[in-house]
Chains A and B, each alone.
Chain A
């Protein structure tokens, strides 16, 4: 369904935006990934999720293809990528540690865990180590509060943690081991 509201929002002839899309392998792949998605159907987030799932991040060169497919200005696609905390514009680290920012974790000593994570990796939340082995991420409560305080190592809940446990955890992760 191509809904008139979309046109109203954009307000100008949009084809001019998409003139020169570089024809690389990644762009061709993006085109495949977008199959079945429609303009005016609320599919932008789904498109970006698919791209991130495939590449691990949303490469800049994917933007024109998405914009063209969904009849949106590229700025709008870029705006969405930067607005949502789950989309990344750079390659992900090999291991991503998400720190839960929820109140239950916080009350049970979550800040100490965060401090240990940041001190031992040398990164702030949202950053990766220079060798891209380990990265920290600000996670939002997923309601597994019986394991508070916790972190998620590549999406897997690890908890309840003490500060000392976290030191051991980061040591292990740095050596390439899994919790």
Chain B
């Protein structure tokens, strides 16, 4: 088996191709986000156009670079070292794009986004764009450059040099270096990764296993998908380093079913790394062995909990186990196991590749380094951004995300999935560090998947949706969880229908207190969102209960649609009226003898004609109390 020096000597042709040293190179970013907007067709059409024009140009697929809002993104590199990014290159534009950029040599055109690493051909550098300049792309540095289905590309970019360096050190030295970086579990716990590895190293069990949690179930988060799809070898490298440091020879990557491309790419990457002798019986030509197995989940949110994940790997239902024993003592099939998130391994691998001194250059004293964040919901630029720890949420939201679209105002931040709660506008001024979030009563910073809400979003509506989701995904072991989430959903749904009662607040508090006795995080934190809503959005919740009014006009039972028939007959609405008649659910399905179904379709098409009104008169007082049981104070 080759050692690292031999391995990197073999990939010289890949290095030349990636750097476009011999001929220009067009690279189309292909990942799940860009495929959704037709990047595969763009790639095929560009290939066709290059061939038709008889150009001597390499056309490659590369991983995505996180700029979801700009997809499909295409990079054109020239032998002089210029690298220019183009955005929104739609499949239909491909032929014209090739003509403009490669034949007519017009670098500045309708698709131009910016030049990477300094201006080129009159195109201003990417760093002129504030959302790009604010980022410190370290983990994401290799994303969007190389083909994730080709291991040699990544070796040419320096992958596995961190593993080679780790293998030249002792286990204790590796753990000391990772601990020195203070990198915390990036799944949301922020438990020091180095210390966790050391637990496994000193655990008396044998054999040991390294487990990667790639079951990123939190809605609105795709940071792990970024790594798996666009830099799979960084994950393999991080896991192999963990395996060496902790004395484990077996690794499992548990990836969720919803990432089919990620599964395909990580499987291929593992296969290729084995074929190159990077992992396997002899890691990079040393005595160390490390095998990796990719396990594909099948759609279960609770498998993202570490013991649920282990149960799922062990041939069965992914129900979280009762602890102790903890995974380090008895994990996958009784092997002592270390479970970390994808980004934890990625970050630890980065530390080993570049050294802890470089890692701690950015970030804060207690949380050095960077973290990847995805932002979605009410933002103008949806995407994945890498920022130093401690950057404020405001900078992420306003600079990277471009603020709320259509003149809306920021209302709330929902960081990291339904279990982590919701925070009002002062959250914008928090530095993104777990300690800052814990001070405010949040569990932690979360896994980096931030969802933004604006003033047109209803907190109660979101709570009901999350509670329903958590009920649906409860594994069913603990009565507190499966019964509690069900009860919470019922109460919220009733409030949304206009049946809110004074006692509901107490009931929800009681549920929150009771759910704490559940076995795993899923139950323990299931009502966090509602508890936060009661604390920080009390006005809005009370308005729903007492005045039966939804200020955002979202709760279906509290609003009604009213058509202004006179306005509807105005000629300027004729087209929209025709379209509304065409898509009216009533007309289409022939349901409910012509009575309006309140289905929203016509309001969407004719917002001025079909308006949303409060269903109930203002200030009606609380709805009649049916059950007068008040829960005891806790």
Contact = CB atoms under 8 A, between A and B. Distances in A.
A155 B475 CA distance: 25
B496 to A, nearest CB: 11
B298 A85 contact: yes
Contact of A45 (B218, B297, B377, B383): B297
A115 B586 CA distance: 12
Contacts of A155: 260
Contacts of B585: 116, 119-120, 167
Contacts of B259: 142
A145 interface: yes
Interface stretch (A15-23, A26-34, A97-105, A128-136): A97-105
B33 A144 contact: yes
Interface in B352-403: 374, 376-378, 382-383
A117 to B, nearest CB: 11
B588 A143 contact: no
A6 B376 contact: no
A134 B304 CA distance: 30
A176 to B, nearest CB: 17
Interface stretch (B103-111, B139-147, B598-606): B598-606
Contacts of B475: 83
A6 B333 contact: yes
Given A119-B591, A163-B604, A171-B588, A146 B71 contact: yes
Nearest to A165: B583
Contacts of B225: 142-143
Chain A: number of interface residues, binned into ranges: 35 or more
B68 A145 contact: yes
Contact of A164 (B256, B378, B579): B579
A107 B301 contact: no
Interface in B203-241: 216-222, 225
A121 B146 CA distance: 44
A102 B71 contact: no
A168 B68 contact: no
Question: Which one of A101, A108, A112, A146 has the greatest number of beta carbons of chain B within 10 Å?
Answer: A146
A143 B32 contact: yes
A154 to B, nearest CB: 12
Contacts of A141: 218-222, 258
B315 A44 contact: yes
A86 interface: yes
Interface in B574-604: 579-580, 583, 585, 588-589, 591, 597, 599-601, 604
Interface in A1-47: 3-6, 8-9, 40-46
B286 interface: no
B465 A112 contact: no
Q: Chain B contact residues: over half helix, strand or loop, or mixed?
A: mixed
Contacts, number: 190
Contacts of A148: 376, 382
A106 interface: yes
Contact of A101 (B219, B256, B588, B597): B219
A167 B316 CA distance: 40
A27 B453 CA distance: 51
A140 B258 CA distance: 7
Contact of B376 (A49, A139, A146, A164): A146
A3 B298 CA distance: 23
Interface string B307-349: 0000011111111000000000000111000000000000000
A104 B300 contact: no
A3 B333 contact: yes
A138 interface: yes
B588 A120 contact: yes
Given A42-B332, A85-B298, A141-B218, 20 more contacts: A42-B295, A42-B315, A45-B296, A45-B312, A79-B316, A79-B317, A83-B319, A101-B469, A103-B220, A103-B414, A103-B466, A107-B377, A107-B378, A116-B585, A144-B33, A145-B220, A146-B383, A150-B36, A167-B583, A167-B585
Interface of B: 32-33, 35-37, 68-69, 71, 216-222, 225, 252, 256-260, 293, 295-301, 312-319, 332-334, 374, 376-378, 382-383, 414, 418, 451, 453, 457, 462, 465-466, 469, 472, 475, 556, 579-580, 583, 585, 588-589, 591, 597, 599-601, 604-605
20 contacts: A6-B315, A42-B315, A45-B315, A72-B315, A76-B315, A83-B318, A83-B475, A84-B299, A85-B300, A101-B219, A104-B219, A112-B599, A116-B585, A140-B301, A142-B222, A143-B32, A144-B222, A146-B68, A148-B382, A164-B583
Q: Which 3 pairs across A and B sit closest by C-beta, in order of nearness? A: A143-B222, A102-B219, A84-B298
